[in-house]
Structure 1
Amino acid sequence: MAGVNVTFKVGNRRGVMKNDVDAQSSFVEAMGEETNRKASANISVDVPRLQRVLDTRIRNSLGQAVMFAAMNMVGVKSNTTMDKNTRAAPTRVLFNMGSDRGLGGEGDLPLINPSAGLTQVFGSQGFELQWQALSRRTIMKKSAGGKATKGTTPREQATKFFVHTGSLQKEIKALAQNVVDRTGTVKIFYAKSATAKSLRVVNNQRRIRVGRLQLRFMPKVPIRTLKGFLTEDPATTDPSMAFEKSLGLSPDALMKLQGVEGYQRPLLQPVFSYWMLTRIPRLVGTAISNAIRSR
């Protein structure tokens, strides 16, 4: 929507060459037409208050992203390949990018192996990530002499994608508590005048004209490592796992998430990309709308 002067950036852009990584379209759409009209007018906001609100909401939302990955993607079972000559169907993760989330909230989060009905509803406005099924040989190797958790057999445990699922889940859940220490939440910059090219960090400024604000989200993240965000397709990932490494995961966890060559099963990258393309813009739009109305 033309006329919106607030600008939005995600991550730091070192190493992205000349590409201007700008998430403005997602955020502008989330603000709504009336808020956009006000944002382009000569209206100021209480910046310290906006910073506090965004810090809290983004911290909570990114924690929810990590917890979703830990509780819903770690421990997912692979389809079992019974015929050694034919690999079973892959596990599917569907990312709904449309505005229609379903009557019961279906599609508001990534869907693991969605039903045919939900696939039909959301498939045309989303992206699908696929994890290749484990081979029969791999399952037999994992179950031979293995130890199972209470209530399961080694064979049942072996059909899960990740080795030692419990320890991996525990580490990722712990990451949810301090993930923003690695990513940052948001930095608010401002242009001193309407024509100023350089931006300044807001320090002692109490109220700033809305049209001169720039909000930069997850400022500590090298955006080149989050390819799903760059392409606006959460299913696009970086097999080098530079993003996961930047979050401080242990070598053991990285090995489990990366898998053997050619069989990577992306976990955190697609979830973070999805959050930054859909969920974070909605909560930011609400926060800015409230800040403008409370002038």
Structure 2
Amino acid sequence: MAEMMGVPDNNPLVVSLNVLPLTIIIPFINTLLSVLKTLFLFTKSDFKTTILPVTIFAATTAPVIDFSSILQSIFWTWLHLFQFTLANQSLGYEEDMVNKPDRPIPSGRISVEHTQLLRWLSIIPCFVLSAYYSPTTLRVSIAFAILTFLYNEMALSANWFTRNVLNGFGVAAFEAGATLVAGRNTGNLDPSARLAVIIGASLFATTIHTQDFKDVFGDKKAGRRTLPMIFPIASRISVFVLIMAWSFGLRSLWKTGPILSAILIALGSLVGSRFLFLHSVKADQHSYYLYNAEEVISE
């Protein structure tokens, strides 16, 4: 082109014009990748414990249209999870200094002030995306935003009872919203889906303190009063008893066959026994992953 205009390719002006886009594009790409990594790190530890179980729940509960519906359901779940983690981590960054130093705030990738600003702004895309699907999905999103506020800003997570109750409702919101987005009828859950959501919420509300064993040291620093801190032995016994009770109860409710029943009870026994006898932070972390797998099968 330069030669057609009578300007040689080695002209300094041409060289600078050829290089200039790279000096703009490369820094832009690096910045974009850094931002995406920061967003990912906010939710990294919750993919196994929230995104995967909720996605499996939605895929098996909703009359799924196609693979695109699952991807949309995953994004809806992630966006709302992102809203929650922004609130949670901007207020609990001192705990993360102990438990999860690789998260964006303790690692210095983003300031507390910017995280809090992003936390409130994140509500807008959650509402807009949910309204796109249906008024019912929007109501679920609004309920989730209120639960997030109560759990974090109102510090109701500091008490073990309200913490468990809010966790149960939070799981119900995740499962209901993800199922609505994944299904053919985004405006309504069928009776079996509603029952599954209620069971899921009740199951998590009564056993969700399984997530607190691995975080005892950080929770002490944050001033929380979780069941593993108040009743270190009794809380572990309760996990075993409650998980086994749910395993047998759901076996009867869902009328599962002998193979699935055996898997359900065996996995429940394994998870309950691990919490009962293995008390290290690493063991509790692995037990919690198994707990989430067991809950997916149970629901």
TM-score of the aligned structures, taking structure 1 as reference length = 0.22
Structure in which a larger fraction of residues adopt strand: 1
Question: Is the helix fraction higher in 1 or 2?
Answer: 2
Higher relative contact order structure (alpha carbons within 8 Å, sequence separation ≥ 6)? 1
Taking structure 2 as the reference length, the TM-score comes to 0.22
